[in-house]
């Protein structure tokens, strides 16, 4: 099957971690024998008024990747100018792709703006359109008058919608009044080669915890690290044990969190941004992964931790219930007392870490996800022949 993957979140040299989960989906599609071309339009904030640079090359996985990169001081305006982005995508398709490649399926990732662009291009080319959805802000998006109208039409026109969790499927259905028959839940891809099980060596003098997020000051913050820090402080005092917390990720909230850790006598290491290979190494030596949050549409960092055999203690919310159970971790309510109890319980519970890793690998490896997406493609093409 020839697949044209449309993305507006995709790794670049300037931002190698941006939309990396979409790149993993591309690898999964390729792994099941499909001939994939990625067409990504990425907009960078810049001091330049406006510039466009196009490239066409094979990435390290031998996936042909056509990128249209825009650098502009008016990034937010251009990002919302979907007709202009569509014009650039269409031009890149005809100039760089269509002379030697005709897709059977258009596959977009995230409704805004890629899904809308993919809808218009698939209508123009008269090809079936599949939308994979990762986005946490679906309900907010559904309230944006013009954009939501275009998004609703894209969802309606799509042959299939592939949300990464059952929770996200329900969010889309509720926000856009869509029928369940249009959906197939297919999760994110976890790099099970990089995030792999290794036997852990317990530290004789301390418990090691790890948490990963963007630690940002927001009006309505999703992550709740203060709960975790206060719970660690309470448990250390109660049990007279040493706990070391590693917090991976950048953000403008880090100095405040450092101050809180100092005041609560919590030994915390703030690493800043780390590449995936360094995160995998840290998880291999971590006793528990901790994730205090208010919302997730999948929870890639949680699944990556589980893939290394690291049990997870996380908030009892949304899509995390689809990943975490009694066999691989503990779900807890977002209060200091509940987090303290969850940490206490985890310290006295025996987990089969090898089984934790094997189970997640079986569900979310690129091969597994690739087979699931390929089955959707074949069903679509077969139905068009009838």
Give me the domains of the chain, ranges plus CATH numbers.
2-189+365-385 (3.40.50.2000), 207-363 (3.40.50.2000)
Placement of tokens 């939309």 in the chain: 19
Confidence of residue 200 (pLDDT cuts 50, 70, 90): confident
End-to-end CA distance of the chain: 18
Task: Look at 3-7, 130-134, 137-141, 266-270 and tell me which has the smallest mean pLDDT.
Answer: 137-141
Q: Taking a C-beta distance cutoff of 8 angstroms, is the pair 190, 307 a contact?
A: yes
Residue 24 has pLDDT above 80, yes or no: yes
The mean pLDDT of the chain is 95
CA distance 365 to 56: 27
Residue 27 has pLDDT above 80, yes or no: yes
Placement of tokens 């009006």 in the chain: 219
pLDDT of 243 reads: 96
> Under 8 Å CB-to-CB from 87, ≥6 apart: which residues?
none
pLDDT of 386 reads: 62
pLDDT of 17 reads: 84
Task: Look at 201-210, 243-252, 292-301 and tell me which has the smallest mean pLDDT.
Answer: 201-210
pLDDT of 377 reads: 97
**E strands present in 137-295:** 160-163, 207-212, 243-248, 267-272, 288-291
Confidence of residue 134 (pLDDT cuts 50, 70, 90): very high
Mean pLDDT of the 378-386 span = 86
Which pLDDT tens digit goes with each residue over 227-286?
999 999 999 999 999 999 999 999 999 999 999 999 999 999 999 999 999 999 999 999
CA distance 20 to 277: 13
pLDDT of 220 reads: 83
Q: Taking a C-beta distance cutoff of 8 angstroms, is the pair 139, 318 a contact?
A: no
pLDDT of 319 reads: 92
Which pLDDT tens digit goes with each residue over 39-62?
999 999 999 999 999 999 999 999
Mean pLDDT of the 303-330 span = 96
Q: Taking a C-beta distance cutoff of 8 angstroms, is the pair 154, 115 a contact?
A: yes
Per-residue tokens: 20: 């990396």
CA distance 23 to 45: 21
pLDDT of 327 reads: 96
Q: Return the percentage of the chain with pLDDT > 70, whole number.
A: 100
Q: Taking a C-beta distance cutoff of 8 angstroms, is the pair 66, 56 a contact?
A: yes
pLDDT of 268 reads: 97
Which pLDDT tens digit goes with each residue over 78-128?
999 999 999 999 999 999 999 999 999 999 999 999 999 999 999 999 999
Mean pLDDT of the 135-164 span = 95
């Amino acid at each position: 099957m020839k697949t044209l993957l449309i993305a507006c979140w995709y790794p670049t040299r300037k931002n190698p971690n941006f939309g990396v989960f979409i790149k993993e989906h591309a690898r999964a599609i390729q792994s099941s024998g499909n001939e994939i071309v990625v067409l990504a339009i990425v907009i960078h904030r810049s001091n330049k008024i406006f510039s466009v640079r196009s490239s066409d090359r094979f990435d390290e996985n031998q996936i042909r990747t056509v990128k249209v990169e825009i650098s502009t001081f008016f990034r937010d305006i251009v990002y919302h100018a979907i007709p202009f982005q569509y014009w650039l995508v269409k031009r890149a398709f005809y100039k760089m792709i269509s002379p030697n490649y005709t897709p059977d399926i258009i596959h977009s990732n995230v409704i805004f703006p890629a899904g809308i662009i993919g809808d218009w291009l698939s209508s123009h080319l008269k090809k079936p359109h599949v939308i994979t959805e990762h986005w946490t802000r679906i309900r907010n998006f559904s309230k944006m008058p013009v954009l939501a109208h275009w998004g609703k039409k894209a969802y309606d026109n799509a042959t299939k919608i592939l949300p990464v969790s059952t929770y996200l499927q329900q969010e889309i259905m509720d926000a856009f009044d869509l029928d369940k028959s249009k959906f197939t839940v297919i999760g994110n891809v976890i790099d099970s080669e990089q995030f792999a099980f290794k036997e852990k060596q317990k530290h004789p003098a301390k418990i090691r915890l790890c948490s990963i997020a963007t630690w940002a000051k927001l009006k309505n913050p999703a992550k709740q690290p203060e709960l975790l820090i206060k719970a660690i402080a309470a448990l250390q005092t109660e049990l007279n044990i040493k706990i070391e917390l590693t917090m991976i990720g950048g953000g403008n909230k880090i100095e405040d969190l450092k101050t809180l850790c100092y005041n609560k006598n919590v030994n915390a290491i703030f690493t800043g941004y780390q590449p995936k290979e360094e995160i995998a190494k840290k998880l291999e030596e971590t006793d528990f992964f901790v994730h205090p949050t208010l919302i997730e549409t999948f929870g890639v960092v949680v699944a990556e931790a589980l893939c290394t055999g690291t049990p997870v203690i996380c908030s009892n919310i949304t899509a995390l219930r689809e990943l975490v159970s009694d066999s691989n971790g503990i779900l807890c309510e977002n209060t200091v007392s509940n987090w303290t109890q969850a940490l206490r319980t985890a310290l006295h519970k025996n987990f089969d870490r090898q089984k934790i890793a094997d189970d997640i690998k079986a569900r979310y490896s690129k091969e597994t996800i690739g087979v699931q997406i390929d089955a959707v493609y074949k069903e679509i093409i077969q139905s068009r022949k009838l």
